[in-house]
Amino acid sequence: MQRLSARVREALPDRPKLADMFGECLANTWNTTIKRNLDGTTFVITGDIPAMWLRDSAAQVRPFLILAAEDEEIADMIEGLVKHQFACIELDPYANAFNQEANGQGHQQDLTDMNPWIWERKYEIDSLCYPIQLSYLLWKNTGRITQFDDAFVKGVWRIIGLWTTEQHHERDSAYTFQRTDCPPTDTLVREGKGSKTSYTGMTWSGFRPSDDACDYGYLVPANMFAVVVLRYVCEIAGEVLKNPELAAAAQYLLEEIDGGIRQYGLIDHPEYGTMYAYETDGLGSVNLMDDANVPSLLASPYLGYTSADDPYYMNTRRFILSKSNPYYYSGTAAAGVGSPHTPSRYIWPIALAVQGMTSGSAEERQSMLDLLEHSDAGTGYMHESFHADHPGEYTRPWFSWANMMFCELVLMCCGIEVKRS
């Protein structure tokens, strides 16, 4: 990590603060969020909450993949995380966040099928995508395949089964979620079933990667991510596991989901042309917006679903980075994507990092780095969000996912990237 920080400092000789922030964010995640268990697995807290989100934990260690090829300890840590994530999926594939032990912490009063291991049981497609993605990237960056064990295979089959069930949420799913005495975004309507949907080929999600409830059950960027990781499953099953049955099941499902995205997730906008909707229900309703959390529509090239120069993506990007997106904020200090999860006019560093990493313009990437460098409120770290006019006003003083997304953008600007295939 010290050598990597030195490489960044050499690549940014005129940006000492930026180099310092990179080193501090990288070290902070390693020293404060990563916990090795006695069984060799890894537990990663999200930051100021003592629980592990499947999504956040995978994103938090992603920059360490660059070092894993030359450092066995780092590679072991990442493999340990993959194994812990799949153990969590075995406990409950509908849960998004877990305790380190069965201590009953978290949202135990929610009206859903809780148990003491679970911190929160908001079902989100991306919670199941990220562990597959991390296992695949570990293979591609190190050549390691020991993470593809029996538990991995069992977990992937369970994910495919769940996503197939949730293609017919109205008919086949037993999942419900309700939380009392909370904002509407923290619970599902219709006694926990969510808003009504019809079959599209896509798979249903109760919540967004912000942990906010979906307005409509087919969350398009999360389905994009599912298509990407199912492609990974096909490759892993074919090249490593020699399991044609698993490859065939993944291929069949990804084609159905992708077909649903193409048929129901694309709309013709009078100003921006053909572009992706954020959510749809298969009944004619669509939600035109984007959220700061990943997966997002803005992040689809970063995830590997589309290219940055794809015409539909470019149209969507123009929409997202404009006042037409209800969660795009432009202020005196910064402009960027926010979220209904945080107050109005609060911009998310995660979204700024994604905007930079998906841009074909070196100038835009540097502009995003500048914004991130000057919006830290003097702390040296990223926050969940900050006010577009007053960056000293922010939410969450400690948010490891944002720190590591910042690190990944810095590395990209230095010509250092995680191998994606």
Query: Tokens at residue 290, please?
Result: 């984007």
Its pTM stands at: 0.98
Residue-wise pLDDT tens digits, 125-144: 999 999 999 999 999 999 99
Residue in 203, 198, 306 with CA at minimum distance from that of residue 253: 203
Residue-wise pLDDT tens digits, 236-287: 999 999 999 999 999 999 999 999 999 999 999 999 999 999 999 999 999 9
Q: For the chain, which residues make up each domain, given as ranges?
A: 1-32+327-421, 33-326
**CATH classification of 33-326, choosing from 1.50.10.10, 3.40.605.10, 3.60.20.10, 2.30.130.10?**
1.50.10.10
Residue-wise pLDDT tens digits, 340-395: 999 999 999 999 999 999 999 999 999 999 999 999 999 999 999 999 999 999 99
Is 347 strand, coil or helix? Answer: strand
Q: What is the arithmetic mean of pLDDT over 302-321?
A: 98
Q: What is the arithmetic mean of pLDDT over 206-232?
A: 98
DSSP 86-117: HHHHHH-TT-SEE-SSS---S-TTSBS---TT
pLDDT interval class at 47 (50, 70, 90)? confident
What are the residues whose beta carbons fall under 8 Å from the beta carbon of 45, sequence distance 6 or more?
A: 33, 35, 51, 52, 400
Residue-wise pLDDT tens digits, 3-33: 999 999 999 999 999 999 999 999 999 999 9
Cα separations in angstroms, 148 against 152, 165, 229, 246, 371: 5, 24, 14, 13, 40
Report the DSSP pairing between strands 385-387 and 118-120.
unpaired
What was the pLDDT predicted at 62? Answer: 98
- How many angstroms separate the CA atoms of 319 and 205, rounded? 24
pLDDT interval class at 398 (50, 70, 90)? confident
CA angle 179–329–273, rounded 5-degree value: 95
What was the pLDDT predicted at 48? Answer: 82
What was the pLDDT predicted at 392? Answer: 97
